[in-house]
Amino acid sequence: FETLRTQVNPHFLFNSLNTLSSLVYEDREKAAGFIRDLSDVYRYVLENRSRETIVLKEEIRFIKSFVYLYQLRFDNKLNVEINIADTLLEKLVAPMTLQLLVENAVKHNIVSTLKPLSISITTDVNDYLIVENNLQKKTGVVSSEIGLKNISSRYAFLTRKPVEVIETESEFIVKVPLL
């Protein structure tokens, strides 16, 4: 199970430091906010990497910091909407589930002014956490699906409810059971 736990991709740190390097010269206030959120992201990773589950509201707090870093990197060409019912915020998820899914969407899709990437994070009446993005695949990027396989394996340890992956011509949807 330990080997299935995800960590923030080293490329994410490298890209974040490059973004920070630019921000320091352009906008000191944004740079300070960026440093705070980058610290929050890594604190969350260090504090929760050995946990099997975490309360959804903590995962949401983490993903907001994570997304903010991406939004600055992509100059707000990444739109993320989070709409979770208050009654579900105390449910449990595997730590860093949302990070893996958001990172997966960014990795495999075009994020540009002409083609902004939109990600929606919601829940449904069957106690599933749903991460949905518009599909605009990058050419030449072959998916190993390791991230999705890791999520499915992690949740197989935690519940009998399956992780569902749905791909249409225009959308990519992952449904993760709340615990």
Tens-place pLDDT, residues 5-30? 445 667 777 788 888 888 888 888 98
CATH number, domain with residue 134: 3.30.565.10
Query: What residue type is 48 in one-letter code?
Result: N
pLDDT of residue 160: 97
Report the predicted TM-score, pTM, of the whole model to 2 decimal places: 0.86
Residue 53: give the domain boundaries: 2-177
Give the residue-averaged pLDDT of 62-84.
94
pLDDT tens-digit map of 88-143: 999 999 999 999 999 999 999 999 999 999 999 999 999 999 999 999 999 876 67
Long-range contacts formed by 18-23: CB under 8 A, 24+ apart:
19/69, 19/72, 19/73, 23/72
Give the residue-averaged pLDDT of 82-88.
95
pLDDT of residue 159: 98
Number of domains in the chain: 1
pLDDT of residue 62: 96
